[in-house]
Structure 1
């Protein structure tokens, strides 16, 4: 089998430096980058496995916390994803009932926290009809036509198009903008 004379310009996936590859499937500039990439991939895999084992171990504890009417502040931070300072502020304001059973043994009402931090549905606003983005040339003005029709300078027309995000289309030397949107803007002035 003969060697290929190909020299394919590529960028190393590990270090980001350009190099010339001799095959289509080459991903790294050398063995050092390939080794680093392999080690990083193994490290990420170990981290993912570690996170999964922690989740499996804590699933039982979380299930137990969800059945108790009063939980500790640390457990509340885990369950509801809020900071300890927020919980202390709510207790001080009297919004969440809490009982102090001793030093570092403050318990808060899980039921009240659930009521405060449940998802609130926000009603969707009625959607406006979608604006047409592809206009035919007969449905459009050129910038010059707009400036002549409304008696403004071409630069004012360009600024208005840019400010109002009006879609424009260039064909050759002419820039076309939709008649209906231009008429709405300049008729009101």
Structure 2
């Protein structure tokens, strides 16, 4: 025989009111119960991962300094980047990896050379030419009218040709010398 108990409760997952047939019922439906279980499982996995990373941090970067070969997690901790960022760097072939079975390893020398390359590229960016002055530049709209080209096409051409653009206020300027050379325009200077 079944119970005739009817209790008004609030679902612990979706917060909607429902009528429960037992005292122990927590969810309004099987769907809410399943979703809550999935959420709890996910949170447990995330917490386990956090604890693992915390224990790696507690082990200390000092110990990582002594290593010559890193796993992905150790390399992330050593470099101070997320797994996603490290995998992006690896996919662009900026850091070489090796596989031992299913395990991915990275040599310390590859990480060091990556940072040296980053430092050199930053140094090269700093040597980019300075703004030549408004009198020696065209605005984007002036170039569009002269060459009869759309803004998207112009930006694409400037990007491919690696021509520097300068933003001053609400205008974007490009060196007259660079544009004249690119589009074979006779200069009035």
Larger Rg: 1
Higher helix fraction (1 or 2): 2
